[in-house]
Each structure stands twice: as C-alpha cells, then as structure tokens.
Structure 1
Amino acid sequence: MATIDRHAATLALAHALTAAERGLPVIPLTRHKLPALPSPHRDEATPHCRGECGRYGHGVHDATCDPARVRALFAAAPWATGYGIACGRPPHHLIGIDLDTKSGTDGNAALRHVALEHLFTLPETVVVLTPSGGRHIWLTGPSDTVIPNSASRLAPGIDVRGSGGYLVGPGSLTNRGVYRLAPGTAHLAPAPCPRALLRLLVPPARPHHPAARPRHGQALIDFVLAAHTGQRNTRLFWAACRAYENGIGDTLAARLTAAAIRTGLTEREARATIASAARLTATPSS
C-alpha cells in the first residue's frame, strides 16, 4: 500500500470538497495523477463495468459532487494526495485545454496560432498552472455536444480533456509538484467555449459505411494474431487502445480476447489487458 501523507491527504479532500461545492464532480488521485482506488474487477471477467456494481474503483465514473460521497471516496483512499475533476459532466460540461511545454513543444504558442487562424479569442476563465510549466484552461461546452479526449489533434502541444477524461484539480500534490490556480483566475467560473474553437474540438461526422467498422476491427484482430512470444501482451494492449479510441472497444473486446488466447495468453491475462486499455484511453492531464 502507498505511504500515507496525512497532511497532503487532508488538503486534497478539502480542495476536492470545495470543487464539488462548485458543481465539479471529483475523484481522489495518487501522486502519479492516476485514480487512487483500484478497480474492484481486477480478478473478475467484468472489465467494462462503469460503476453499475455500486463499488468504488471505476476511475472517472466514480466522480461525484455529493460531499458525503466525496468523503467516502477519500476515506477509501487515504493515500490520495490530489483529486481529478471529471470533464463533460453536468452542470458545467467542462472542457480542459491542456497546454504542454515539454519535449520541445509550446502549447501556449500553438493555441495563439490556432486562435489567430480561426478568429476566436479566449474568454477570461479559470486557468491552472501545472508543475511542469504547462497550463490547463477550463471552458464549458453545450450539454448536447460530446467533446472527445485528444492528444495533439488540435495542434502539437495541445491536448483536450472531454467526455470520459479528467483534469488534475488545483491544490493537488503530485510527484512533480503542486497544481495551482493562475493569479487572477481563482474568482472566475469556467467560461463558455468560443464557437469557433468548439467546432474544432468536435470531430467531423464519419460517412456511413456499414462495412468500415468490421474491416477496421478485423485488422486489429489480425494484428493480435500475428504476435510472437514476447509481443502478445503488447500487441493486445495496442490493439485494444485503438479499438476504444475508435469507439468499437466494447464491441471488439470478446474477439480480441479470443485472438489473444489463440496466441497463448490466458483468458484472465487477456481480459486484464483489455480492461487496462479501456481505462487508460482516457488519460490524465499533464
């Protein structure tokens, strides 16, 4: 079990309760920015449960604004030193614009370029400063629009946290340091996303080709079946991630499991790997 930093845990709970009071659904996080509660299905054949079982440990699906439930989540994870804020959930339908400055990228400059090119101005809104030098810009979206998570799709150095994703909340302690509100933004509420930017965040509708998904799915199955010893788990995880990113993960899970078993993995190993891909396709913010 993780070492418990009681002071950090107390602060994390206090910050999480404050966020919940503002209508922001929260979950406890570890110093690694990952959900603090392990899945209750690690040894079960139910990798796609999203909390229907009533137990804790379903990542962002546990997120809540109910203070009693927030306290219960943190009581179950006393090692938590931070909290995540679920995006895409009512009442705010939060969208997180994650501007990275690592690996030679400059998300701030990239966003300025996108704004100039598409003629929009960012409103005054909540901004969170990350320990690595990046920024999280909080915006709100329409209730009838699903914004997907993406990494560098908008531009290099710009990740987007939408439905199924979460942002590390201000006040959280991580291995890299503390996330803090940018000066002058603490009193602000998340502002509506500019229409021009919102259009860029919504992926274009795909043309309807009934045979397209089965072919794509079969290519992933074939990729798993071609695995040699030492590649089996890696190939399965890669294929499962691509399946969930393309919206066919749940549909393809049984076939991926069967393919992995044919390569030599056990059913338990295959299901655990696919469950990991299902959880990790909604990655935490940097």
Structure 2
Amino acid sequence: MNPLPPNLLLALTYAENGVAVSPCRERDDQFGKCKSPYISGGMNSASSHIQQVYAWWENTPGAIIGLPCRANGIVVIDADRHGQEDGVEILSGWFRDNGFNPALVPCVATPNEGFHFIFRRPASLTDTKGKLAPAVDIRDRAYVIAAGSRLADGREYRLWNATPLLLAQALQMQALAEPPSWLLAMMQKASVIAKPKSTQSEYGLVSAEVLTLARLKGITQKVAMAPVGQRNSTLHWAACRLGEMVADRHICRDVALGLIVACGRQIGLSQNEATKTALSGLGDMALGGVDDF
C-alpha cells in the first residue's frame, strides 16, 4: 500500500481537529500561480470534512494547504521581504519597542524568508486594514498557507515554536493569544474608529471621521512633544481625552487603550507604566472626568 502524500497527511491533521482547509497550488501551472486555489470558491469552499479532504487531494495529491483566516477564528500578521522592503525588520522593531514576545504566538517561517504570526481573532475586532506598513500585511478576510505545507520544490512553511498538530489543536480549542492592544489599534480601519456622520463647520460639511482623526493626531502630537518631567502627566491627560471620545462613541475603548499605550512607549515609558497610565486616564473619565490642560 502506497503511503499517503505528505501534504494530504498534513491536511488530514488539520481537518481531524476541526480546522477548515482547502487545496492550493504547490507550483505555478497553466491555470494559476503557486498558492492560488485549486477549487472553485477557494477559501470560501474550505472544509474540515475528512471525505471531502480525501477527494480534493486525490485529484491534486501535491496540493499545499490553504487556511482561511476568519473561518478558523484567526487573524495573521504577514511580514515579507520584497527587494528594499523588509517587513520582517519593521515588525520586529514594533515587537521590540512595545515589549511583545513573538514566541507567545505561532510563528511560521515562509519559503521566501517571511514570517506569519498567528493570533486568535478577537470578537470585538470588526474590519481591519489590508496593510500595516510596506511588506507587513494583515490576513483577515483572506487565507494563508498552513504551517507544514511543502511546495513542489521542497521548500516548506515551517512552524518555529510548535508542531502542526499542536497548532491544529490550539485552533480547535481557540487557545491562541489575541493581538496586544497596541497592535489591535494599528489594525483597525479608520472607518471603525470614527462615526460615518458629518458636521457643519465654517469650511462646510466635514465628516466625523476627519474630525476624529484630526483630534487623535493633535492629542498624540501633544504627548510626543511633552517635556521631560511632564510626560506621564501628559499621557494621563491624553488618556482622559480619549476616554471622552470613547464615551461619545467616536472611538472604541480597545483602540483608545492601544493608542495611549503606543504613545507611552514612544516617549520612553515601559509597557507596564504606559498601560497603567492609560487605564487610569480612561477610568477617570468613566468616573467623571479630568480637566483639560
């Protein structure tokens, strides 16, 4: 009896743990590029039914495994290296500056020297941006190639800090960590931050989104320019101002918290100090407010 193809065994490992998968091309061919779906409907047709998985891989035994993100309750940060653009270095800098240990989440090394960082998708997360920075993308309404998949040329999507079986089990149990608050704030679309209403000004009709983003810019700039000795108090003031915006439903609390913590980190506070000040300011507004500077 011939052994099962490695990618089929991998697909079954995911499917047996309730993870929806779909077959994708392991090389370029006349019908599509490498990593493109083999099946009609692509990621929207993904399934965890064992018989369906067997049927797909019987037709395309070398297929790599597509992992739809939303269907499996995940959101993935995809850092690539494209020519002069080094998304891996950019993302590593963010992790370092915000005191985040990437070993806390599954990390997949891709064949082209990029990385996928896999997070559980928070229920509060609505629409996300497609891109965080050059060569740093968010995979949300999309799919990624599953850890363990092997291309036709032998290159592999290699999971650094676990095994595909452990990852499949973690996905089934929804046991992965969510993105930290500072990263969630970066991921949100601007349209999620502000209400899509309009306000009349001396310059005519101005959208609430524009006004909200302008206020956010002013607040964060004030924090960035705060002199030594006043930085923590200025950050607390900023947290109170964002607390007002949360109360007015112009911005969600998770986004406000993430922005304040990120500002605090940029002016030299530790992650714990910035978080404590942010929570204090947001809490003060819930109790009645703090005066403007």
* TM bracket, shorter-chain basis: 0.5 to 0.7
How does the TM-score come out when normalised to structure 2? 0.54
The aligned counterpart of 1:109 is 89
The aligned counterpart of 2:44 is 61
The aligned counterpart of 1:196 is 182
Q: Answer 1 or 2: higher relative contact order, Cα 8 Å, separation at least 6.
A: 1
Structure 2: segments with no counterpart, 5+ residues: 27-33, 171-175, 199-293
- Structure number with the higher helix fraction is 2
When residues 195 and 21 of structure 1 are mapped into structure 2, their CA distance, relative to the original with a 3 A threshold, is farther
When residues 200 and 22 of structure 1 are mapped into structure 2, their CA distance, relative to the original with a 3 A threshold, is farther
The aligned counterpart of 1:185 is 162
8 Å Cα contact 1:87-1:95 kept in structure 2: yes
- How many equivalent pairs are there? 181
When residues 107 and 175 of structure 1 are mapped into structure 2, their CA distance, relative to the original with a 3 A threshold, is farther
When residues 169 and 147 of structure 1 are mapped into structure 2, their CA distance, relative to the original with a 3 A threshold, is farther
CA RMSD in angstroms, aligned pairs only: 3.0
Q: Which has the larger radius of gyration?
A: 2
8 Å Cα contact 2:107-2:161 kept in structure 1: no
* Structure 1 residue matching 2:190: 3-state secondary structure: coil
C-alpha deviation, 1:180, in angstroms? 3.2
Over residues 154-192 of structure 1, what are the superposed CA-to-partner deviations in whole Å (9 max), with x where a residue is unaligned? Answer: 1122111102x1111123233564323333322454332
The aligned counterpart of 2:7 is 12
The aligned counterpart of 2:137 is 159
C-alpha deviation, 1:34, in angstroms? 0.8
Whole-angstrom CA distance in 1 between matches of 2:79 and 2:153: 16
The aligned counterpart of 1:36 is 38
Same amino acid, percent of matched pairs: 25
C-alpha deviation, 1:107, in angstroms? 1.8
C-alpha deviation, 1:146, in angstroms? 3.6
Letter in 1 for 2:132: L
Moved runs in structure 1, 4+ residues, more than 6 A? none
* Structure 2 residue matching 1:23: 3-state secondary structure: coil
Over residues 48-84 of structure 1, what are the superposed CA-to-partner deviations in whole Å (9 max), with x where a residue is unaligned? Answer: xxxxxxxxx1001011222222223333x32542110
When residues 139 and 63 of structure 1 are mapped into structure 2, their CA distance, relative to the original with a 3 A threshold, is same
Please state if 1:72 is matched with 2:55. Answer: yes
Structure 1: segments with no counterpart, 5+ residues: 1-5, 38-56, 211-286
How does the TM-score come out when normalised to structure 1? 0.55
Letter in 2 for 1:182: L
Q: 1:115-264 alignment to 2 at 5 Å? A: 115-116=95-96, 120-122=100-102, 124-148=104-128, 150=130, 153-163=131-141, 165-174=142-151, 177-186=154-163, 187=166, 189=170, 190-205=176-191, 208=196
